[in-house]
Structure 1
Amino acid sequence: MQEQLNFFKVALLDRQIGAMTRSSKYVVKAVMRNLNGLSLRRVIEYGPGDGVITKAILNRMPKDGQLIVVETNLKFLNILRDIGDPRLKIIKGTAQEISRELKSRNHASVSLVISSIPFSILSRADREHIVSNTFDMLADSGKFIVFQYSPVLLSLLKKYFDTDAVNTQFELRNIPPMFIMSAQK
C-alpha cells in the first residue's frame, strides 16, 4: 500500500507520468505472460516508473542479460537505482530521444521493448518516431509490449507490425482498467 501511495505522490507532481497508480499485480502478470518463449537477453523499458515491471523482468532475465530502462522522473530514477541489479542500466531521458539514439547505435538485437509511457499525450509525430525506431531495434521475432489506459497506439502498431502479430488484452482488475498491446516482429 505504501508503494501505491508513494507512486501517487510522485505522479501528482509530474504531468509527464501517465498513471496515477502503479500497475497492479494483474497487469504485471498479464505483461509477463506475453514474454513466454522470448529470449530476455536484451530488453528496453520505456517509462518504468517505480520499477514494478522492471523487477518482474529481472526475475525472468538470464544472468548475462541486460535491461535498459528509460525514465524522466528524478524520484523514480532514484527508486530504480535502489534495485541494485548489475544487469540494469538506467538512462535519464525520454523514449523519443533514446529510441533514436539506440537505433543510431545499431541496437538491432533487442528481443523485447516494453512501454508504459502515455502515448495519448504525445504528438502523432512522436508516437510514429517511437514505434518506427522501436520496430527497427527489434530482433526478428522480438516483441513490443505497450500497456496504457487508451488503445491510441493500436493503429500505429498495425502499421509497422503484421496485423496478425498484434494482440490486445484488456485488464479490468487494474484501477483504472488497462490495455495491454503486444506486437511481434
Structure 2
Amino acid sequence: MQKTTGSRRDQMLLFARNFLKHPRMLGSVIPSSRFLIDGLLKHLDFNRARVIVEYGPGVGTITTHVLKRMHPDAKLIVIEMNDDFVRFLRENVPDPRLHVVHGSAADVGPELKKLGYDSADYAISGIPFSTMPPEVRADILQKTNAVLNPQGAFLVYQFSPSIGMHLERAFGTVTRTFEPLNIPPAQLYVARPRAVA
C-alpha cells in the first residue's frame, strides 16, 4: 500500500501559497473535502478501471484516495502544470502505479501513447474550466472525450455551474449533482463519452 511522506500541514501550506500566486488556476484556497471526494469517486468502477487520468492533481488530495482504492494492476496518470505541485507529488507520493506528467491536460492523448495506452477508463478533473480561454477549454474537453473508453466517464468537480453546457456539447450524456459540504460548495458532473467519428 502506498503512503505519503508529506504532512497534511505541508500540503495545506503549499496549496494556499499557490492559490495566492495563481488563484485563477486553483479556484479554492484549500483542497477538496472528503465529501466531495467520496461523491466524485463513487462513480468510478475501481474493479474494472486499469487506466485513470487526473488533471490538475495539486497536492494529491484526490490522487491519494484514488491510489488507495484502485486495482493493484491499474495506472494513475496525473497531469499537472504547476512546478511546485509536480515536485511535491514526485517526492511525497511514492506509489509505482502513479505517473506524474508535467504538462497540459490538452496533451492527454500523446501522454497516454508514451506510456503504451490507447485510451483511459476514467478521467478526473477539478481544473477551473470557467477561467480558461474558450478555445483551450473546448480543446481539452474534445480530447478527453476522444481518449475515453466507451464505458468510461469524465468525472468533473467545479465551483461554477457554467461548465455544464460545455460538457453537454462535447460528451454523450452528462449528469450533475451538488456537494454543499466543501469550501466552496461544488458542482459534480459525470460525463459519458460520445462516439468519435
Aligned counterparts, 1:79-118, within 5 A:
79-81=88-90, 82-96=92-106, 98-99=107-108, 101-102=110-111, 107-118=117-128
Aligned counterparts, 1:4-153, within 5 A:
4-15=12-23, 16-36=25-45, 39-81=48-90, 82-96=92-106, 98-99=107-108, 101-102=110-111, 107-153=117-163
Contact 1:102 1:137 (C-alpha < 8 Å) held by counterparts = no
Higher alpha-carbon deviation: 13-22 or 40-49 = 13-22
- CA distance change for structure 1 residues 135 and 42 in 2, over 3 Å: closer, same or farther? same
TM-score, normalised to structure 1, is 0.89
Which residue identity lines up with residue 52 of structure 1 in the other structure?
T
Q: Aligned partners of 1:123 and 1:147: how far apart in 2?
A: 18
Higher alpha-carbon deviation: 82-91 or 153-162 = 153-162
Which residue identity lines up with residue 141 of structure 2 in the other structure?
V
Structure 2: give runs of 5+ residues left out of the alignment.
1-7
1:78 Cα deviation (Å)? 2.0
Q: Aligned partners of 1:101 and 1:87: how far apart in 2?
A: 19
Contact 1:115 1:145 (C-alpha < 8 Å) held by counterparts = yes
Contact 1:150 1:179 (C-alpha < 8 Å) held by counterparts = yes
Contact 1:38 1:111 (C-alpha < 8 Å) held by counterparts = no
Contact 1:143 1:184 (C-alpha < 8 Å) held by counterparts = yes
CA deviations 1:116-138 (Å, max 9, x no partner) are 11101111111111111000100
1:19 Cα deviation (Å)? 2.2
Q: Aligned partners of 1:127 and 1:107: how far apart in 2?
A: 23
Which residue identity lines up with residue 184 of structure 1 in the other structure?
R
Q: Aligned partners of 2:84 and 2:16: how far apart in 1?
A: 12
SS, match of residue 76 in structure 1: helix
Structure 1: give runs of 5+ residues left out of the alignment.
none
TM-score, normalised to structure 2, is 0.84
- CA distance change for structure 1 residues 160 and 14 in 2, over 3 Å: closer, same or farther? closer
SS, match of residue 111 in structure 1: strand
SS, match of residue 86 in structure 1: coil
| Count of paired positions | 182
% identical equivalent positions: 34
Q: Aligned partners of 1:88 and 1:37: how far apart in 2?
A: 15
Contact 1:145 1:181 (C-alpha < 8 Å) held by counterparts = yes
Contact 1:26 1:171 (C-alpha < 8 Å) held by counterparts = yes
Q: Aligned partners of 1:136 and 1:61: how far apart in 2?
A: 23
